[in-house]
Amino acid sequence: MTGDPAARPIARILVDSPLPQLDRLFDYEVPKEFAHLVAVGVRVRVPLRSAGRVLDGYVVELAEEEDPTRVLAEIEDVVSRAKVLPPRLHRLARAVADRAAGSAVDVLRLAMPRRMVRAEKTWLASDACDAPVVLGDERARAGEVLAAYPGLADALDASERVAVDAPPGVDDGLPAWTLLIAAAAAHTLAGGRSVVLAVPDHRDLDLVEERVARLVPRSAIVRIDAERPGPDRYAAYLRTLEPAPCVVIGNRSAVYAPVVDLGLTAIWDDGDSLYEEPLAPYAHARDVAVVRQSLDGGALMFGGHTRTSDVERYVAIGFVRDVPAARRLTARVVLGAPQDTPQTGRIPSAAFRAAREALEQGPVLVQVARPGYAPSLVCAECRSPARCTHCGGPLHAPARGATPVCAWCARSAAGWACRTCESTRVRLASSGSERTADELGRAFPGVRIIVADGAHPVREVPDEPALVVATRGAEPLAPRGYRMVLLLDGDRMLQAPELRVGENCLRWWSNAAALAAAGAPVHLVGVTGSVARALATGTHSAYAREQLAERRPLQMPPAVRVARVEGDAAVVEAALDRLRGEVDGLAADAVLGPVPADEQGRRRSRALVRFAYAQGPAVAGSLRAAVVQAAVANRSRKQPKGSGRSRPAPRTLSVRLDLVDPDL
């Protein structure tokens, strides 16, 4: 502020608009009647002359305009005096948007729940929260857990970036890995700093919340969950704005929580696909956490039963420090060939005998690839895939002896005939969770069978003999651990046409094996090679390094960054030409494509751009400028009202950076 009496107070506003050309701050004059209400972070409504309408926005900065000749529009209204956008959150949103070639307001839509007036009024009328206190016994317990990882507590205090291999097994009725995460949170909160814990899904969220509540006061825990009602979500967000430190537990959006004095950001199992944001600007939670740590400080911890190639790249370049456990616990893994005797079917005889013995002591977990009875069918004669005669979708069997049903249009395929050989008989090409349960029920008569998948969610099973058939990621918790874990369909899982199929399979198998009791065997059926050896020997980090080394000469992520450019063919070509001219050092083979992607008669195309991490800011800036240019061109191409001409179709351009699994 200059103190010049002729200067006018102004506010720099970020307007809430999806138009990329509006992704900047606009200056508005502050009317005298709103001078006492306008503050950094409040919601306002402002006119937009170019659009001829009033938009919502956020006050990002306050300043003074000294030029008396400059004409500025005035703020039309102040929505609320609640300061919901602190500078630290806007700074993070701007940095994430710039890295991902997106808009800051799109990032804020992911970070801030929808406004709920009643919850906001209650928060404004309430007193400030008191600083939570972690009791001595809980602090001692947290210290004991962290002591199993030499140097981890010091790394947290020094705000370092670390990668930790979590312990397998079950501890006090909960997975042992939750104790490690909770201990790190309690240690940080006891030091007077806030914590953000991100987990993949709601089941993990429940487990972590229950464990953390045993070490820190319940009042200090803030749960950010998209499945909760709107008022609860907004109230939780408002709590993160309080000056008192807290522990935020949530899914991928939790990494944006604007807590005060961030001391630790921990991401559990960062290889899970649920961390991939499906909305623009598509920033992965792992990347957001790295950006935030560089801005706000605090420690950054990656934990899991396995190691992704992304985190291993960080370790290789010295960006993240590997903190090994003082004593590495690995599962007793047995590798077996499938169907070595006709009597055991899909289960090798050794695993069959081990399952019988384990059932005398408690539950046995059987992991399968897919839910349902028979997820896919083939012709019994020529083995051609069975397809629906109406839409061409794949047929599946919902139950034993049932008429095949199309997975796309849900029509029954009564009277089906193969288009190749005209046979009318089908056979089961794969076994889902329900068919596996049916087979095991006949093989183990008198044993209770429990199915756990998306259609039959089961959180926990009793500690008594039972065969638990679960799809990957849906395995229930056994309070004292499973007496045996049987991993089926491994060869089928590895056949998925994905870049990270080996990493994903190792993660699925390791997470299931971690549910076994101490000393319980883990049988992996029908899989050999490096991924099986990594599971059997516990060398997950070495496998991640191997994957990273294989991708470097192929220029595939995470060895390099990959962007996808998609839209009208002419606009894509213009964007690629601009990119080649503006980014120095871009390799000659950096661009793959463009390839046709015709849609409803429109000539569209898409391309992949591979580039080094050091080129990231230049590539993101060039592609973002191309998106803005296309949007501005669309606006200028609109015909004026009353011209009698039809409005031309918009020439779109979309950009997505950091593809996890590129597919051209």
CA distances in angstroms from 400 to 151, 382, 385, 623, listed in the order given: 56, 22, 19, 53
- The larger pLDDT score, comparing residue 504 to residue 372, is at 504
Cβ distance 252 to 275 under 8 Å?
Answer: yes
pLDDT of residue 213: 95
pTM of the model: 0.90
- Give the span between the Cα atoms of 320 and 118, in whole angstroms: 43
Work out the pLDDT band at 190, boundaries 50, 70, 90.
Answer: very high
- Domain ranges in the chain with CATH number 3.40.50.300: 136-322, 332-375+430-537
Please give the average per-residue pLDDT across 372-377, as a whole number: 74
Quick: pLDDT tens for 576-588.
999 999 999 998 8
- What percentage of the chain carries pLDDT values higher than 70? 93
Beta strands in 472-547, from DSSP E residues, in sequence order = 484-487, 521-525
Query: What is the fold, at CATH topology level, of the domain defined by 561-657?
Result: Alpha-Beta Plaits (3.30.70)
Judge whether residue 422 has pLDDT over 70. Answer: yes
Average pLDDT value for residue range 500-512: 95
**What span, in angstroms and rounded, lies between the C-alpha atoms of 554 and 299?**
33
Q: What single-letter DSSP state applies at residue 457?
A: -
Return the structure tokens found at 522. Answer: 């883990």
The whole-angstrom separation of Cα 576 and Cα 598 is: 18
Where is 377: in which H helix or E strand? strand 377-379
Kindly tell me if the per-residue pLDDT of 341 is higher than 50.
Answer: no
- At residue 664, the pLDDT reads 44
Higher pLDDT, 29 or 133: 29
Q: 322: closest CA among 545, 552, 513?
A: 545
- pLDDT, position 419: 84
In order, the DSSP letters of 566-595 are EEEHHHHHHHHHHHHHHSTT--TT-EEEEE
Mean pLDDT of all residues in 243-270: 96
Segment 58-75, tens digit of pLDDT:
999 999 988 888 889 999
Give the type of residue at 64.
E
Mean predicted lDDT score pLDDT of the chain: 89
Considering only 46-50, 558-562, 591-595, which range has the smallest mean pLDDT?
46-50
The C-alpha atoms of residue 404 and residue 393 are separated, in whole angstroms, by: 12
| CB 427 within 8 Å of CB 382 | no
Contact call for residues 375 and 430 (beta carbons, < 8 A): yes
With a cut of 50, say whether residue 225 has pLDDT above it. yes
**What DSSP assignment string belongs to 46-107?**
EEETTTTEEEEEEEEEEEEE--TT---PBP-EE--S---S-HHHHHHHHHHHHHHT--HHHH
**Under CATH, which number does the domain 332-375+430-537 receive?**
3.40.50.300
Please tell me the predicted confidence (pLDDT) of residue 640: 53
Of 242, 238, 258, 260, whose CA–CA distance to 128 is shortest? 242
Tokens 């900047």 sit at which residue? 24
* Residue 342: predicted pLDDT: 45
| Average pLDDT rounded to a whole number, residues 277-287 | 94
The answer to whether residue 139 scores a pLDDT higher than 90 is no
CA angle 23, 28, 31 (to 5 degrees): 150
Q: For 131, which DSSP code?
A: P
Domain limits, CATH 3.30.70, in the chain: 561-657
12-34 average pLDDT score: 94
User: With pLDDT > 90 as the criterion, what percentage of the chain qualifies?
Assistant: 67
| pLDDT at residue 634, rounded to an integer | 74
Quick one: DSSP state of residue 613? G
Compute the distance between CA of residue 427 and CA of residue 313 in angstroms, rounded to an integer. Answer: 45
Assigned CATH for 136-322: 3.40.50.300
Q: Are 271 and 507 in contact (CB under 8 A)?
A: yes
d(CA 319, CA 310): 11
